[in-house]
Structure 1
Amino acid sequence: MKIPVEISYRGVEKTDTIETLIDEKVAKLEKFCNYLNSCHIAVEKIHDRPRSGSPYRVRIDITVPPSHELVAESNPAEQNQYVELDRVIRDAFSKAERQVKELSRQQRDSDQAKSGAAQDTEALVVRLFPEQDYGFLKTLDGEEIYFHRNSVLHNDFERLAVGTGVRYSAIEDDQGPRATTVQIVDKPGANVGKSDINLVEPPLGWE
């Protein structure tokens, strides 16, 4: 699922070529981390006639669950040769890519260290916030687990409803438990997989 992307322009004409390049670069970022929350790109022209370098500056702000903010910026002002806008965009995304790769690696290492491998567990969807692209699961012991749209397998976020049975893998973050994968097992009113959880009559503690 493509993450929400906001692009702002200042002193730069918006063109299909720029939009296509940015879309390609964002899609590449998602390959390294498929649970990015948002991405804002600011494309600016800060000089009219620079003697060298580039008149353009590109800044990329990315948010990653649970509360990470990554910033990458490119304004090659020190280079002798004039630098076109597309090269500045590519340079900014190259810096963002390195940060996303590193954060993703750190989170994977943390996942393995904390859980040794996330265990698949069954739960119900108890709260959904479609406009904000996230929701909460509830386990048999009453624990609530945060999940983001990008964690739902097969792009099935739109199929979720309160009461949907799922199987998930989770890790513990600074902000609490977070599901890294969520897979639909059954819609409301059916059984969850091969377990004895009946979604019509939830066990004590489920809301």
Structure 2
Amino acid sequence: MGVGMQITYLGFAGSAPIEAEAGMQLVRLERFREYLAGCHLTVEAIRNGLFHGKPASLLYDARLDLITRTDDLIAVEHCLNENLGIALRAAFDAAERRLEQALRRPRR
């Protein structure tokens, strides 16, 4: 059984291309399927007055909460970017790093 994902959109309506990109990124977490039960992806559109000192109409915040098979929650860092695809990829990069760290730690 694969890793399941729920997606929540805040501040904008989701779309099929966003879900397709998220699904492609989720494949990267399949190697952790013995450890992961699922994940929640939240993508938020943030209207911000300034970004790097210049006017920015929209930023995207992508973040993942990972649920382990033992019902533990691993919150992954927020990834903010003007480009939604970059924010999504960065969130899954961060998730991979967190999972690799979690699996290296000795169990108690």
TM score, norm. by length of structure 2: 0.79
Q: Give the one of 64, 75, 80 matched to 2:80.
A: 75
- Per the alignment, residue 4 of structure 1 pairs with 4
Structure with bigger RCO (C-alpha 8 Å, 6+ apart): 2
Gaps of 5+ in 1: 77-82, 111-173, 175-207
User: Which consecutive aligned stretches of 4+ in structure 1 deviate over 3 angstroms post-superposition?
Assistant: none
SS of the aligned residue for 2:51 comes to coil
Tell me, yes or no, if the aligned pair for 2:3 and 2:29 is still in contact at 8 Å: no
- Matched AA of 2:80: N
- Per the alignment, residue 102 of structure 1 pairs with 101
- Matched AA of 2:95: A
SS of the aligned residue for 1:51 comes to strand
Q: Distance in 2 between matches of 1:100 and 1:50?
A: 35
Are 1:59 and 2:63 an aligned pair?
A: yes
SS of the aligned residue for 1:63 comes to strand
RMSD: 2.0
Gaps of 5+ in 2: 53-57
The answer to which structure has the higher strand fraction is: 2
Are 1:92 and 2:97 an aligned pair?
A: no
- Matched AA of 1:63: I
TM score, norm. by length of structure 1: 0.44
| Aligned pairs, number | 101
SS of the aligned residue for 1:56 comes to strand
Shift of 1:67: 4.1
